[in-house]
A and B are shown apart, each in its own frame.
Chain A
Amino acid sequence: MENFEPEIVAFCCHYCAYTAADMAGSKRISYPSNVKIIRVPCTGKVDAIHLMKALEKGADGVYVAGCLAGDCHFKNGNFRAEARVNRVKKILTELGWEPERVAMFNMSAGMGEQFAKIAREFTETIIKLGPGPGKRTGATDRAAS
């Protein structure tokens, strides 16, 4: 537990958070390598099942990073994503898992600093929560199957 290195999946919108991550990199602003970024054309494309499967297959935390309110290139993809994140939070609560394992963040393409800060803070949160569902007993043989 002391050496717990969480695996975190971040679904990042191509138009904002993904570019922000890029900017963080080019500005040499460090953020935890635990965060694995998946670029999506719009966070509206991220479905509840993607978040659930990530947790099931071994991620300890998952978040979606989309555009600021009103800035979505596809009008309201970021709001849809937020609604889905909330739905997954509800499912996790019903199952007795911590809803904090999933989260929604909003940022613009220029917010490299902000991206790194969120990545750090979310990683901290997950370290406190400990290993996720997919890391528990029995998970390995299922993941393999």
Chain B
Amino acid sequence: MITAEQKPMQEIIQYIAPYRKILLVGCNECVTVCAAGGRKEVGLLASALHLNHLKQGKTIDIKEITLERQCDPEYVEELAPYIDGVDAVVSMACGCGVQTIAGRYKKSPVFPAVNTRFMGASLGQGVWAERCKGCGDCVLGITGGICPVARCSKHLFNGPCGGTSNGQCEIGPETDCAWRLIWERLKELGMESRYEDLMNAKDWRPGGAAGPGKIIREDLA
């Protein structure tokens, strides 16, 4: 999923300072799962913004709404009845959701309340780690199911580099060396000989080097 974290409160407060009526929009997808921008977080942020205004002796109207999916025009349409009644929109979705709203409601300023971080997986309650860079040409089939692009700090295709220390990455002991993991997994699978296959220089076009990515499915479009 796409992970996100709430922005510093003061940044959000500055965004909305000129406005009195706010539409605060959450998303039921990824940001709900990573507890950054779901219904609960919308409620909490709304409450925090109220407390902030109370401190200044002011009031603010916040309409809370959480959409099924903010990156889908069909659901974003549900904001139409409210949009004219507010001065600004604050989105708690990932960057895709913010832009879908901004693209649909051109007259309303839209502000992000979260920082979109990475595509990751859950490692346990409250812990998420990056697992995919969306490089567009998946190599997991030859790296034992561990991604060198997302999990090696230097995106090495022929690692490990010389900085590995006690099996951990040179950037710090809290980061596993991806190539140590790849090697261990290849061994478990009895595929050690694969290690010495040279991996050629990557074509980065499918992952964004060719410009913003787009998928068109003729059978669905």
Using a CB–CB cutoff of 8 Å, the interface residues on chain A facing chain B are 47-49, 52-53, 55-56, 91-92, 94-97, 133-134, 136-139, 141-142
Cβ proximity bits B17-42 to A, threshold 8 Å, 1 near / 0 not: 00000000000000000000000100
Cross-chain contact B50 with A56 (CB below 8 angstroms): yes
Cross-chain contact B47 with A96 (CB below 8 angstroms): no
Q: Which residues of A contact B47 (CB under 8 A)?
A: 49, 52-53, 55-56
> Known contacts A49-B40, A52-B44: does B55 contact A95 (CB below 8 Å)?
yes
> Known contacts A49-B40, A136-B57, A137-B57: does B50 contact A142 (CB below 8 Å)?
yes
Closest Cβ of chain A to B8, distance in Å, is 7
Q: How far is the CA of A87 from the CA of B57 in the complex (A)?
A: 24
Q: How far is the CA of A96 from the CA of B47 in the complex (A)?
A: 14
Interface of B is mostly: helix
Q: How far is the CA of A47 from the CA of B52 in the complex (A)?
A: 20
Cross-chain contact B54 with A138 (CB below 8 angstroms): yes
Cross-chain contact B51 with A133 (CB below 8 angstroms): yes
Q: Which residues of B contact A52 (CB under 8 A)?
A: 44, 47-48, 51
> Known contacts A48-B44, A49-B43: does B9 contact A136 (CB below 8 Å)?
no
Q: Which residues of A contact B14 (CB under 8 A)?
A: none
Cross-chain contact A136 with B54 (CB below 8 angstroms): yes
Q: Which residues of B contact A55 (CB under 8 A)?
A: 47, 51
Q: Which residues of B contact A92 (CB under 8 A)?
A: 51
Closest Cβ of chain B to A27, distance in Å, is 37
Cross-chain contact B54 with A47 (CB below 8 angstroms): no
Q: Which residues of B contact A49 (CB under 8 A)?
A: 40, 43-44, 47
Closest Cβ of chain A to B95, distance in Å, is 23
Does B53 interact with chain A (Cβ within 8 Å)?
yes
Residue of B nearest to A92 (CB): B51
Q: Which residues of A contact B52 (CB under 8 A)?
A: 95-96
Q: How far is the CA of A49 from the CA of B55 in the complex (A)?
A: 18
Q: How far is the CA of A53 from the CA of B64 in the complex (A)?
A: 14
> Known contacts A47-B40, A48-B44, A91-B9: does B51 contact A139 (CB below 8 Å)?
no
Q: How far is the CA of A141 from the CA of B43 in the complex (A)?
A: 20
Residue of A nearest to B57 (CB): A137
Does B58 interact with chain A (Cβ within 8 Å)?
yes
Q: How far is the CA of A134 from the CA of B10 in the complex (A)?
A: 20
